[in-house]
Amino acid sequence: MHKVVIERPRWNPGPGKHGRRANLPDELLPKFEGIKRPHSCGKRLTDLLGPLRRWLQAQVGRSWNDIYSEACAVIKPDSIIRAHVKTHLLQFVERHTFMQAGKVCVLDTGYRGRNIIPVTERRYGWNLFFVHPESGSLCAIPQKSWKVLRAARQAARVDNFRWLDGNVALKQIAGIWFVCQFRAVSSDGRFKAYDHALGQHVGRGGLLRRDGHYLHCIAKRQLSRRELRRYDLRNGPGLKAQSSVGCTHSRLKTALQVSAGRRFWVIGHCRLAVQIRPRVST
């Protein structure tokens, strides 16, 4: 298994090629050549993980302890190549599962924070299989096709996006509705700028496309309560109002922090320390 998954055969073999130059006659061989030149096309490493994934698929329903024991009987700890196979084996299988509300869940530590989600709804990662916390058997995670994922994204986009005219649209960002102004970007030359709707610098490939044109969000503004009632929209529950882009950094933020007998007033980027003296009773 480790030779199939990790090692790759010599590329470009055949008579007259670099891999089999010894089969050529003497008159076709070069007169002057370095020592390493004929051996430059040797075996190399690769990650051909299809056989390993199919082997795990054939073990679905068995106990994970028995599967892991059979794998460790072949994967010797003194071989780096075989230990590399064990790394991919553990990446495919989610072992830290638990029961939550009658579902097999896992602690998702992605970029959105630590959240408890069902193991079948995990979108990111290598995990294609999981170990059932009660039976201890290996189970497969049903994979969704690209068509199903694309249809789900389009349905979510319809609920969170609405065009007003050719250059202005309503978009829900982090649960809050904004009115965004777009401008068309030409398809010639390089392009990279800050997109206010996405909140990051993107290239032309990351922009919104409409009727074959690339649209760049140059400004956005949060909808007021009157505008929300006009368009029959509602912000997400438990979300506070946010200031528009451009006003966020200009407004001063005041916070009070108490630490080690001192009060720190944080106003913008300035920090003022005020010593608190204890009251002396007479």
The b-or-e profile of 113-147 (16+ CB within 10 A means b, else e) is: eeeeeebbebeeeebbbbbebeeebbbebeeeeee
Claim to verify: residue 122 and residue 176 sit in the same structural domain: no
Q: Between the CA of residue 178 and those of 10, 173, 237, what are the distances in Å?
A: 57, 7, 16
Claim to verify: residue 30 and residue 130 sit in the same structural domain: yes
Claim to verify: residue 110 and residue 157 sit in the same structural domain: no
**Listed residues 112, 140, 168: the one ending a domain:** 140
State pLDDT tens for residues 53-89: 899 999 999 999 999 999 888 887 787 777 888 888 8
State pLDDT tens for residues 242-268: 444 444 343 333 333 333 333 333 333
Claim to verify: residue 121 and residue 204 sit in the same structural domain: no
Q: Decide: pTM greater than 0.85.
A: no
| Residue 50 pLDDT > 80 | yes
The per-residue pLDDT for 149 is: 73
Claim to verify: residue 220 and residue 263 sit in the same structural domain: no
Claim to verify: residue 134 and residue 159 sit in the same structural domain: no
**Listed residues 71, 105, 140: the one ending a domain:** 140
**Listed residues 140, 175, 192: the one ending a domain:** 140
Q: Residue 266 in contact with residue 254, Cβ under 8 Å?
A: yes
Cα–Cα distance, 110 to 125 (Å, whole number): 9
Residue 147 domain-assigned?
no
Domain that holds residue 267: 252-282
Residue 235 domain-assigned?
no
SS3 assignment, position 178: strand
The count of structural domains within the chain is 3
Claim to verify: residue 134 and residue 168 sit in the same structural domain: no
CA Rg value for the chain: 30
Claim to verify: residue 125 and residue 213 sit in the same structural domain: no
Mean pLDDT for the stretch of residues 185-204 = 89
Mean of pLDDT over the chain: 76
Cα–Cα distance, 93 to 106 (Å, whole number): 12
| Residue 20 pLDDT > 60 | no
Residue 132 is encoded by which pair of tokens?
Answer: 């059932």
